[in-house]
Amino acid sequence: MKNILSVREVKQLPKNSEFIVNGVVSKFTRRKDRNNASFWEMTISDSSGDIDGKIWQASGWRNTQGGDDFPIDPDNCGLRFEGSSVQAVGIVAEFREQIQYNFSEICYLDQDEYPPKMFTRQSPVKAEILEDLFRKLIAQISHKEIHDFVDAVFFKHGLWEKFKSWPAAVTMHHAYTGGLLEHSVSVAIGAMDLARHYSVFKIPVNMNLVIAGALLHDIGKLESYSMSPAPQVTLSGVAIEHITLGYGMFMRFAEIENLSKDITLALGHIISSHHGRLEYGSPVLPATPEAFIVSAADNVDFELAYWKAQIDGLNSDADFTDYLPAIERRLWRGIKL
């Protein structure tokens, strides 16, 4: 068996390769196949990315806490796998012409020797740079009422300490410490560029609403995700989802800060419509230039972040990924010039 690999290294292995990978479990689900036999799905994360694996009934489970090493039953061992460090032994398989990772052995590691935080991913952009950009974006809001409201939401009402360290997702994009701040800053900068572009072509775009809407659009993720220490979805995130949660948070702050009715309606519309399509979770579709722009910037930031994560994990001799249901296409590495 080879040395312990990073998630990125595993995802670059060819079919039939064996591997060992250590990481923190960000998702763990027990399922039944068509024959009513149990199997498990586990997502393991480290600083290089995430890997989804299947664990079949014949797989082995061990506990090595405290220097011991003994077999366990994952359903009756009293251990919580989500948020814990594990080691997976597996093989790169193929199912329906797509790569699949099968874990043949799961070892629950000693959590003191392998603390979960050691595997937690961080934003590739330094925290101080992101914070500086965020504060400069707020400073560019020239409308006093909107400026003061956004500043109050993040710094008066105590969201900032949580917001700057939170993930933007569990696995899809910016799923790491600082991911929500990175994504929000990127969306705001991209939205501003789009607003400037279309202003040249006489589309009336209010830059103050664009910046504020972009910075506020994902505040619901503070309630829909948790860090323990890997990103995980909360019960509220499953039952209500981040757009509805974010709109509720926004309306509470708007009432507390006595935000004017027109501005509340304009910003609330941006938050409610930013996924752009009803089937993607937006209760309404974008209907103003500012909402169109924030939605477009949000979508392209997600797609490019997802593209990078998938291409980074692609075997070096491959030009494109397998079909990805989450984005309904294969992704192409592109050409080098």
Q: Give pLDDT, residue 40.
A: 95
Q: Do 132 and 113 fall into the same domain? A: no
Least confident of 27-36, 161-170, 299-308: 27-36
pLDDT over 90 (residue 174)? yes
DSSP-derived 3-state class of residue 148: helix
Please indicate, yes or no, if residue 326 is contained in any of the structural domains. Answer: no
Residues 20 and 88 in one domain: yes
- pLDDT value for 331: 96
Domain-terminating residue out of 118, 142, 163: 118
Mean pLDDT score, 242-247: 97
Fill in the DSSP letter of residue 178.
T
In a domain, 333, yes or no: no
Residue 229 lies in a domain: yes
Q: Could you tell me if 109 and 133 lie in one domain?
A: no
Give yes or no: residues 112 and 192 share one domain.
no
Best-predicted range by mean pLDDT among 4-13, 136-145, 230-239, 275-284?
A: 136-145
Higher pLDDT: 249 or 314? It is 249
Residue 290 lies in a domain: yes
Name the residue range of residue 23's domain: 4-118
pLDDT at 226 exceeding the cut of 70? yes
d(CA 162, CA 185): 15
Q: Is residue 330 part of a domain?
A: no
Going 247 to 249 to 252 to 254, the CA torsion angle's sign is: negative
pLDDT above 60 (res 1): no
Closest listed residue to residue 85, CA positions, set 53, 117, 40:
117
Residue 55 backbone dihedrals phi, psi, to 5 degrees: -125, 115
Cβ proximity of 82 and 25 under 8 Å: yes
Q: Is the pLDDT of residue 85 over 80?
A: yes
Domain harbouring 165, CATH code: 1.10.3210
What's the total number of domains in the chain?
A: 2
Q: Are residues 111 and 133 in the same domain?
A: no
At 26, which CATH number? 2.40.50.140
Contact 159, 222 (CB under 8 A): yes
Paired tokens of 211: 């910046």
Is the domain of 114 the same as that of 252?
A: no
In a domain, 113, yes or no: yes
State the pairing for strand pair 98-108/60-63.
parallel
Is residue 329 domain-resident?
A: no
Looking at residue 296, its pLDDT comes to: 98
What confidence tier does 61 reach under pLDDT thresholds 50, 70, 90? very high
Residue where a domain terminates, one of 76, 91, 118:
118
Task: Decide if pLDDT at 68 tops 60.
Answer: yes
In this structure, of 113-117, 160-164, 196-200, the range with the lowest mean pLDDT score is 113-117
Run of H or E including 131: helix 127-139
Q: Answer yes or no: do 132 and 101 share one domain.
A: no
HSE-CB of 10 using CA atoms within 13 angstroms:
31
DSSP H stretches of helix in 50-178: 127-139, 144-151, 160-163
| Structural tokens at position 152 | 């109050």
| Same-domain pairing of 94 and 35 | yes
Looking at residue 38, its pLDDT comes to: 87
Q: Which neighbouring-strand residues pair with 31?
A: 39
With beta carbons less than 8 A apart as the criterion, state whether 76 and 31 touch. Answer: no
Q: Are residues 131 and 110 in the same domain?
A: no
Residue 329 has pLDDT above 90, yes or no: yes
Task: Work out the pLDDT band at 2, boundaries 50, 70, 90.
Answer: low
302 and 161 belong to one structural domain: yes
Nearest CA to 215 among 169, 263, 267, 269? 267
For a pLDDT cut of 70, what percent of the chain falls above it?
99
Residue 17 lies in a domain: yes
Number of H helices, E strands in the chain: 11, 10
Work out the pLDDT band at 241, boundaries 50, 70, 90: very high
Query: Taking the CB of residue 256, how many other CB atoms lie within 10 A of it?
Result: 13
d(CA 293, CA 279): 19
Domain boundary among 68, 90, 118: 118
Helix 261-273 and helix 144-151: axis angle, to 10°? 60
Write down the mean pLDDT value for the chain.
Answer: 94
Quick one: tokens of 32?
């039944």
Q: What is the average pLDDT across 112-130? A: 93
List C-alpha distances in Å: 140 to 137, 145, 182, 224: 5, 13, 18, 29
Same domain, residue pair 252 and 135: yes
Q: What is the pLDDT of residue 206?
A: 98
pLDDT at 88 over 80: yes
Q: What are phi and psi of 51, to 5 degrees?
A: -135, 130
CB 106 within 8 A of CB 55: yes
Kindly state whether residues 110 and 198 are assigned to the same domain.
no
* CA 68/CA 70 separation, integer angstroms: 7
Top mean pLDDT of 35-39, 77-81, 190-194, 323-327 is at 190-194
pLDDT in tens, 282-313: 999 999 999 999 999 999 999 999 999 899 88
